[in-house]
């Protein structure tokens, strides 16, 4: 017999069903997954040797958990994934506001229903996807919101006095009995509200407007907090911290490959819709490197952090920049160009908190500098290093390219509205550039080759070998001394 076909308490007892707490559910299902070598937290990358082992130890210890880390570090995602460690269905007394276990009822409603109907007490089955409750801690949250309050309307309708506990309206936490309950940004919760959580976490009883109710709630608490909050907006009160079993530190991806996995996973829908756009691996690497540059930039507030959402939205903007150009040119296929990275600037400016020096520079300038720094950082991974100081008459692999610009009769321009053919033809004019890229990156496919050519030009600008001018219709590259000499 399928267990969810059981409809009454008597059938449930006859079937030999045994209750277990939510922490036991999490623990037992985690043990089974570990023994079967199953991936426990799917889609979480970069935490395999840091956060996830600590999280598993906390679950095995039946701890309430505090995930402490900067924004965009998958804290809420991890909490939601804990649902996969719950049993698929659990029985609940029908009509119960707080998900009463039929075998261990705790509310007055459930106790009286079972006393009255006995084995005929109706039950229903609650799926694990419905066993997740979440509350963002904001300063306006009250005890009534999360614990409960007396409901005068209920008292009037039922003709009850305020001395009767049936006039209580339960808050979010009692209603999340036998569920995972997440409080995001815990330090933002007023201290007096945090105090209201003490007994729930430790003793399992609650007090509502003078009613002292013994409600041994069965819950898995997960809190999230940002270290910045401890100093800027509030703090977690010490007795509450003492009652949280495990505090786990999260972090940003530590390498570009991990960051790329996260971005591609989260932007998969955008990528699928725009599969007519070729995206070179170097473009993906550069996008992630820009985010890494932001996290170490002196102009950006490190305490605030740079969310992984920056990579995701920047990648979506990058695709949309190429898509818009293709639409304007009436083309069915296109590829990412380095000049498309100007399109990610709105994604950067909206997601970074600048320090005073950054405000002085301006968000646009800071974003442009991040792109430039990303190019400079990645360039030596593909081509010979360009040294700041070189002896006079010393030959370098870049001399032929620079000479081409020095001797060019007309200015070299890459216009934004160039079609694919025009774009390729313009880059192919620089013969030394084609020879150079072929020599150092012989295995590139076509779309990657043209992106790489433009990458070399931008890098030569950053290393002061060429100059670049951005104008309304596109970008112009020149020999840095050409104008000066021609003027003389």
- Global model pTM greater than 0.95: no
Fold topology of 3-249: Rossmann fold (3.40.50)
The answer to whether the beta carbons of residues 377 and 293 sit under 8 Å apart is yes
Kindly report, residue by residue over 146-193, the tens digit of the pLDDT.
Answer: 887 777 676 666 666 655 666 777 889 889 999 999 999 888 888 888
pLDDT grade, residue 488 (50/70/90)?
Answer: very low
Mean pLDDT of 6-19: 92
Nearest alpha carbon to residue 201 among 221, 181, 187, 215: 221
- The pLDDT assigned to 231 comes to 45
The two counts, helices (H) then strands (E), for the chain are 24, 16
Q: What is the CATH number of domain 256-381?
A: 1.10.8.80
Kindly report, residue by residue over 100-135, the tens digit of the pLDDT.
Answer: 999 999 888 899 899 999 999 999 999 999 999 999
Kindly report, residue by residue over 431-466, the tens digit of the pLDDT.
Answer: 999 999 999 999 888 779 999 999 999 999 999 999
User: What are the extents of the domains in the chain?
Assistant: 3-249, 256-381, 399-487
Q: What is the CATH number of domain 399-487?
A: 1.10.10
The answer to whether the beta carbons of residues 52 and 78 sit under 8 Å apart is no
- The pLDDT assigned to 206 comes to 67
In this prediction, what percent of the chain has a pLDDT beyond 70? 90
Kindly report, residue by residue over 280-323, the tens digit of the pLDDT.
Answer: 999 999 999 999 999 999 999 888 889 889 999 999 999 999 99
d(CA 59, CA 84): 13
Nearest alpha carbon to residue 213 among 160, 267, 149: 149
- The pLDDT assigned to 88 comes to 93
The full DSSP string for 134-180 is: EEE--TT--HHHHTEEE-HHHHHHHT--TTSGGGEEE-HHHHTTTSE
d(CA 47, CA 76): 14
Average pLDDT value over all residues in the chain: 87
């Amino acid at each position: 017999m399928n267990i969810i076909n059981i409809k009454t308490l008597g059938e449930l007892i006859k079937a030999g069903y045994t209750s277990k707490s939510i922490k036991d559910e999490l623990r037992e299902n985690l043990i089974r997954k570990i023994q079967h070598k199953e991936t426990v937290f799917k889609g979480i990358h970069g935490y395999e040797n840091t956060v996830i082992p600590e999280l598993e130890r906390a679950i095995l210890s039946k701890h309430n958990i505090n995930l402490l880390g900067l924004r965009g570090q998958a804290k809420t995602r991890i909490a939601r994934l804990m649902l996969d460690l719950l049993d698929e269905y659990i029985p609940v007394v029908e009509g119960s506001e707080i998900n009463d276990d039929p075998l261990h009822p705790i509310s007055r409603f459930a106790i009286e229903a079972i006393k009255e109907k006995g084995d005929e007490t109706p039950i229903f089955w609650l799926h694990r996807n419905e066993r997740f409750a979440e509350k963002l801690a904001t300063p306006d949250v009250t005890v009534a919101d999360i614990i409960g309050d007396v409901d005068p309307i209920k008292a009037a309708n039922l003709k009850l006095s305020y001395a009767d506990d049936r006039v209580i309206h339960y808050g979010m936490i009692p209603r999340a009995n036998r569920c995972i309950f997440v409080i995001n940004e815990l330090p933002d919760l007023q201290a007096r509200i945090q105090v209201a959580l003490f007994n729930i976490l430790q003793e399992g009883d609650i007090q509502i407007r003078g009613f002292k109710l013994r409600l041994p709630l069965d819950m898995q608490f997960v809190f999230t907090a940002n270290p910045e909050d401890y100093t800027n907006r509030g703090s977690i009160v010490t007795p509450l911290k003492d009652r949280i079993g495990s505090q786990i530190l999260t972090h940003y991806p530590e390498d570009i490959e991990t960051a790329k996995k996260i971005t591609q996973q989260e932007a998969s829908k955008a990528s699928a819709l725009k599969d007519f756009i070729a995206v070179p691996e170097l473009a993906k690497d550069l996008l992630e490197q820009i985010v890494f540059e932001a996290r170490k930039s002196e102009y950006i507030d490190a305490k605030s952090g740079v969310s992984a959402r920056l990579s995701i939205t920047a990648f979506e903007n990058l695709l949309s920049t190429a898509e818009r150009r293709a639409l304007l040119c009436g083309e069915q296929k296109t590829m990412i160009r380095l000049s498309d990275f100007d399109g990610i600037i709105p994604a950067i400016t909206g997601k970074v908190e600048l320090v005073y020096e950054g405000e002085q520079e301006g968000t646009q300038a800071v974003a442009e500098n991040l792109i430039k720094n990303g190019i400079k950082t990645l360039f030596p991974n593909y081509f010979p290093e360009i040294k700041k100081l070189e002896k006079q008459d010393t030959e370098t692999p870049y001399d032929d390219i620079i000479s081409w610009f020095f001797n060019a009769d007309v200015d070299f321009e890459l216009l934004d509205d160039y079609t694919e053919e025009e774009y390729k033809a313009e880059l192919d004019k620089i013969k030394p550039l084609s020879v150079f890229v072929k020599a150092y990156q012989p295995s590139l496919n076509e779309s990657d080759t043209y992106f790489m050519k433009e990458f070399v030009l931008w890098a030569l600008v950053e290393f002061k070998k060429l100059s670049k001018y951005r104008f309304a219709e596109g970008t112009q590259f020149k020999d840095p001394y050409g104008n000066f000499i021609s003027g003389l």
